[in-house]
Chain A
């Protein structure tokens, strides 16, 4: 096997190379929770998970859930997803964090 071939195997099966990140959340609007994300799908994704998690954290801090009735503009279930929409672990905690989690 040539080195180039072995590198292809490593690229495909060792650590997954991320392509971009988005912050996914639900926003309370007109009496219902609507799924949304930033940056939107038509825009380029963020190239840094650090930036994405900081953005998620700031959004969560800006719209804390009061614990009672949801209010217009509230944001919940804030998390960072990869290019395929799969949640990624928080680089700081190593957990699949969800900020402002909605209690069912």
Chain B
């Protein structure tokens, strides 16, 4: 037992003595090659993100380059270790071609997460920024500071809104006004506020104000404009503030939903039904009114205590 162990160690020692330099060189080539590959692919990714509009095509080209370079590094390492170089070149070509063909053919059918780290997305009811992705789950940071771990399986099954796919987002503010006579003036004021704002863009559409609806005693105007994704929320809040203050200064009355309550005065019969039998009878005697068709009693609360 001990002698076989010693034999193995001796053989390993002699092998290291004979091929140690080649092995170290091969290891160096492998490590440095992988580091250089990692660095190069990061640069390429940045470049592709800028140059390619078609993301799927960019990803395919990116993957093909990665496979080619990776197999080249592995082949060089093996050649350094003493493997026959002509066989190795054939092997590299075959492996690369198979890998590239597989990428091109099957990539559209491979389920991938529809976002990248740093994107702001909505998955189901969860809204936040993607911090990291692993094979099992995705880590999201919500805007109120919570860290949420979402199983990738749920993401692939649920609907996902990625706010980074398009650079702009439409801002929507609906303003109900009370009088039709203020309609044109209000439209002009709202549009002017949107046009003057530096964040509002002319594309994909210029700012516009629509007359949306006429309901519950008010005219609803809809202001629409496009702003950068990153500025959407603050721009919406500030635009609403500016619009409300401007309309207030211009004396344009906003309309709010109102509920009218109609109160009928108590009748002797109703009072009697509510328990005041004696008072009811007295009132009945005073007024001489008897039972008969009565208006419906809406409330037992005195009318002066109710808002009308």
Contact = CB atoms under 8 A, between A and B. Distances in A.
Interface of A: 7, 11, 14-21, 47-51, 91-94
Interface stretch (B83-91, B136-144, B191-199): B191-199
A92 B199 contact: no
Nearest to B243: A91
9 contacts: A15-B192, A15-B196, A18-B196, A47-B199, A48-B197, A48-B234, A48-B235, A50-B241, A93-B249
A48 B196 contact: no
Contacts of B235: 48
B238 interface: yes
A16 B198 contact: no
A47 B238 contact: no
Given A18-B198, A48-B238, A50-B238, 13 more contacts: A7-B206, A11-B202, A14-B192, A15-B196, A17-B198, A19-B198, A20-B198, A47-B198, A48-B197, A48-B234, A49-B242, A50-B241, A94-B246
B256 to A, nearest CB: 21
Nearest to B242: A91
B245 interface: yes
Contact of A48 (B199, B202, B206, B245): B199
B238 A18 contact: no
Given A91-B245, A92-B245, A94-B249, A16 B196 contact: yes
Q: Considering the complex of A and B, which 8 residue pairs feature the smallest CB-CB distances, nearest first?
A: A50-B238, A15-B195, A15-B192, A47-B198, A91-B242, A18-B198, A15-B196, A94-B249
Contacts of A50: 238, 241-242
Contacts of A16: 196
B187 to A, nearest CB: 13
B262 interface: no
A42 to B, nearest CB: 19
Nearest to B194: A15
Contacts of A93: 249
B231 interface: yes
A92 B202 CA distance: 25
Nearest to A19: B198
Contacts of A92: 245
A50 B241 CA distance: 9
A29 B197 CA distance: 35
Contact of B195 (A17, A48, A91, A94): A17
B142 to A, nearest CB: 24
Nearest to A83: B198
A11 B202 CA distance: 10
Given A91-B245, A92-B245, A51 B238 contact: yes
Interface in B44-95: none
A94 B245 CA distance: 9
Contacts of A49: 197, 242
A17 B207 CA distance: 12
Nearest to B241: A50
B31 to A, nearest CB: 43
A20 B191 CA distance: 19
A7 B238 CA distance: 26
Contacts of B197: 18, 48-49
Nearest to A7: B206
Given A91-B245, A94-B249, A14 B195 contact: yes
A50 B197 CA distance: 10
A56 B206 CA distance: 30
Interface string B213-254: 000000000000000000100110010011001100100000
Nearest to B239: A50
Contacts of A48: 197-199, 234-235, 238
Nearest to B199: A47
